[in-house]
């Protein structure tokens, strides 16, 4: 049993002041394999106090000093890549090869992206030639409370910690208590890289405890949260009394619009993307909207892809999907699959229960529903499992209407060889991001959504600006 009971506060690993034990469960076996401590108010207060004391000194450092620190972090991150992969695979069920490439790779990609963005970022800017005595200063936001999820641990931690460091902020990180071990390895990386005491602090805890304490803390200037829409609403309400800035990256119900002229790999690509990370991604294209002329063929392709998708334990090498993260998540997904059946969707692949050969572990059968209507529960709620809903449409106008008819607005997808149509749809789809024909977003592209998918943007220049206050100065002397 792995014991990780300490918190990282003011540059050192310290025993919790009010910690309660919490088991970390291996989702492939349903067995506990590690024990951490959940912090209490005294632990949160100590971490916030350390961050508050360190903030003026860190804010006074130069851009060059911060850039050098990020470069050291990147080198150490790469050196600890296997440790991070093993931790994430065990704690949240990512197959080990996927953990090595995508889960660990996402963090390295973001660190490199922020090093590049910081090089271009101007903290001191002229307002314009019309006002030569006016300057715009981008000041550090201050002390940041960070609450990160279990589904992409390093992706979300690096999207918050690295830009905060780059802009002169100090911070307290509360990683998910479900997947905390990779975050503690990341804290070791920052310590070895030479992050000054108090600049970065880590306190393990749950949302009701440390999460609530951070969002309502008077000495926290901003909360950066990634997780469920339900939790995001609760955090916003709790933060309101202190008028702190709240950045939210929340759920999604992405629509993937596939037209008759889409390339021959479009359906397969959409199914694989939906099932990536066992469907536990907020930007997953879980609603596949297909033009009527190619609908039947698309359903058949989706069925075939799902039925050939392998499921296996996280420690097995190879290309397959692993378990869901927890019993709670497993039960939720099973209930939503049953709801899809009860509401009349046509089950064409997968369904209830574990895949053949599994009698334990939170494994789910890759599932495809056809003939879904957009008012069905499986088309409205974020399932967060390997479940795809296929919906037919007859016209571009109808496709846009269906796609936008959702409470969410994170990522939508378009598959068509008609460039003019793609560009029209990119403007009309109400989402923070639109990806077309399998093209990935470039380094520095902002990540974030609208409506119940949250507010603010992470990544690149926009990600740095999220951690800055804008100060307007007149009468500037050159």
**Per-residue confidence at 173, pLDDT binned at 50, 70, 90?**
very high
Instruction: Quote the distance between the C-alpha of residue 111 and its chain's center.
Output: 15
Q: What is the percent of the chain where pLDDT is above 90?
A: 97
Q: What is the mean pLDDT of residues 311-326?
A: 97
Instruction: Please provide residue 389's backbone torsions phi and psi, each rounded to the nearest 5 degrees.
Output: -115, 125
The residue with tokens 């499921």 is 311
Q: What is the percent of the chain where pLDDT is above 70?
A: 100
* 5, 304 Cβ separation under 8 angstroms: no
Distance separating the N- and C-terminal Cα atoms of the chain: 62
CA–CA dist 388, 275 (Å, integer) = 8
The residue with tokens 């905060």 is 164
Q: Which of 210, 209, 236 is nearest to 225 (CA)?
A: 236
pLDDT value of position 1: 84
Tokens at 50, concatenated: 């350390």
pLDDT value of position 18: 82
User: Would you say residue 67 has pLDDT above 90?
Assistant: yes
Q: For the stretch 54-79, what's the b/e string if a residue is b when 16 or more beta carbons lie within 10 angstroms of its beta carbon? A: bbeebeeeeeeebbebbeebbebbee
DSSP assignment, residue 458?
B
Catalytic residue among 91, 177, 249, 291: 249
What are 400-427's pLDDT values in tens digits?
A: 999 999 999 999 999 999 999 999 999 9
What are 349-375's pLDDT values in tens digits?
A: 999 999 999 999 999 999 999 999 999
- More reliable by pLDDT, 234 or 478: 234
Q: Is 169 a catalytic residue?
A: no
- Backbone angle region of 279, left / alpha / beta, with phi > 0 → left and psi within -120 to 50 → alpha: left
Q: What is the mean pLDDT of residues 333-352?
A: 98
Model confidence pTM above 0.95 = yes
**Per-residue confidence at 2, pLDDT binned at 50, 70, 90?**
confident
Give the mean pLDDT of the chain. 97
User: Would you say residue 140 has pLDDT above 90?
Assistant: yes
Give the contacts of 287 (CB within 8 A, at least 6 positions apart).
Answer: 253, 254, 255, 256, 372, 374, 379, 389, 391, 402, 403, 406
pLDDT value of position 309: 96
CA–CA dist 462, 445 (Å, integer) = 8
Q: Is 396 a catalytic residue?
A: no
Q: Which of 207, 104, 101, 78 is nearest to 146 (CA)?
A: 207
User: Would you say residue 344 has pLDDT above 90?
Assistant: yes
Q: What is the mean pLDDT of residues 190-218?
A: 98
- Backbone angle region of 30, left / alpha / beta, with phi > 0 → left and psi within -120 to 50 → alpha: left
In the sheet where 2-4 sits, what is the strand order?
2-4, 31-38, 20-26
- Helix residue ranges, H only, 167-211: 181-193
What are 70-121's pLDDT values in tens digits?
A: 999 999 999 999 999 999 999 999 999 999 999 999 999 999 999 999 999 9
* 95, 361 Cβ separation under 8 angstroms: no
Q: Please report, for residues 267, 280, 302, 404, the alpha-carbon distance to residue 441 in angstroms, rounded to integers and kept in the order given.
A: 19, 19, 24, 21
pLDDT value of position 478: 78
Q: What is the mean pLDDT of residues 136-151?
A: 98
Tokens at 207, concatenated: 């949302």
**Three-state DSSP class for 365?**
coil
What are 23-37's pLDDT values in tens digits?
A: 999 999 999 999 999
Q: Which of 187, 182, 4 is nearest to 94 (CA)?
A: 182
Q: What is the mean pLDDT of residues 309-321?
A: 97
Q: Which of 290, 472, 457, 322 is nearest to 388 (CA)?
A: 290
**Per-residue confidence at 19, pLDDT binned at 50, 70, 90?**
confident
Tokens at 426, concatenated: 């990119």
Burial of 358 (0-12, 13-18, 19+ CB in 10 A): middle
Q: Which of 213, 214, 225 is nearest to 251 (CA)?
A: 225
Q: Which of 388, 392, 416 is nearest to 303 (CA)?
A: 388
Q: What is the mean pLDDT of residues 227-239?
A: 97
Catalytic residue among 282, 291, 458, 466: 282
Instruction: Quote the distance between the C-alpha of residue 220 and its chain's center.
Output: 22
């Amino acid at each position: 049993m792995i014991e990780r009971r300490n918190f990282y506060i003011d540059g050192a690993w310290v025993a919790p002041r009010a910690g309660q034990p919490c088991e970390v469960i291996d989702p492939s076996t349903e067995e506990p394999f590690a024990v951490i401590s959940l912090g209490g108010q005294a632990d949160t207060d100590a971490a916030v106090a350390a961050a508050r004391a360190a903030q003026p000194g860190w804010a006074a450092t130069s851009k060059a000093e911060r850039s050098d620190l990020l470069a050291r972090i990147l080198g150490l991150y790469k050196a600890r890549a296997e440790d991070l992969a093993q931790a994430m695979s065990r704690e949240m069920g990512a197959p080990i090869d996927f953990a090595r490439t995508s889960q660990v790779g996402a963090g390295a990609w973001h660190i490199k992206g922020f090093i590049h963005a910081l090089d271009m970022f101007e903290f001191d800017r002229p307002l314009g030639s019309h006002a030569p005595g006016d300057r715009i200063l981008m000041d550090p936001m201050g002390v940041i409370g960070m609450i990160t999820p279990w589904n992409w641990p390093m992706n979300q931690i690096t999207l918050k910690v690295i830009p905060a460091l780059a802009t002169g902020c100090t911070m307290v990180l509360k990683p998910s208590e479900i997947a905390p071990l990779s975050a503690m390895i990341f804290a070791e990386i920052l310590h070895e890289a030479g992050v000054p005491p108090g600049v970065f602090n880590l306190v393990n805890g749950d949302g009701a405890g440390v999460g609530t304490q951070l969002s309502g803390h008077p000495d926290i200037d901003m909360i950066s949260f990634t997780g469920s829409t339900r939790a995001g609403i609760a955090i916003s309400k709790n933060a309101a009394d202190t008028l702190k800035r709240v950045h939210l990256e929340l759920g999604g119900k992405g629509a993937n619009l596939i037209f008759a002229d889409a390339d021959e790999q479009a359906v397969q690509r959409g199914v694989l993307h939906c099932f990536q990370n066992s469907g536990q991604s907020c930007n997953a294209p879980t609603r596949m909207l297909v033009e009527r002329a190619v609908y039947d063929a698309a359903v058949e392709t989706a069925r075939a892809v799902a039925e050939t998708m392998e499921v296996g334990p996280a420690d097995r090498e190879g290309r397959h999907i692993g378990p869901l993260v927890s019993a709670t998540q497993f039960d939720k997904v099973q209930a939503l699959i049953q709801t899809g059946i009860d509401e009349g969707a046509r089950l064409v692949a997968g369904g209830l229960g574990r895949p053949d050969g599994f009698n334990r572990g939170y494994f789910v059968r890759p599932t495809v529903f056809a003939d879904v209507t957009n008012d069905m529960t499986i088309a409205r709620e974020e399932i967060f499992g390997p479940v795809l809903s296929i919906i037919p449409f007859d016209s571009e106008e109808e496709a846009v209407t269906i796609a936008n008819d959702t409470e969410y607005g994170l990522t939508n997808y378009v598959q068509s060889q008609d460039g003019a149509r793609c560009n029209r749809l990119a403007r009309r789809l109400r989402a923070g991001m639109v990806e077309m024909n399998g093209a990935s977003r470039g380094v520095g592209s902002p990540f974030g959504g609208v409506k119940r998918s949250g507010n603010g943007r992470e990544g690149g220049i926009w990600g740095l600006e999220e951690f800055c206050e804008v100060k307007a100065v007149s009468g500037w002397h050159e």
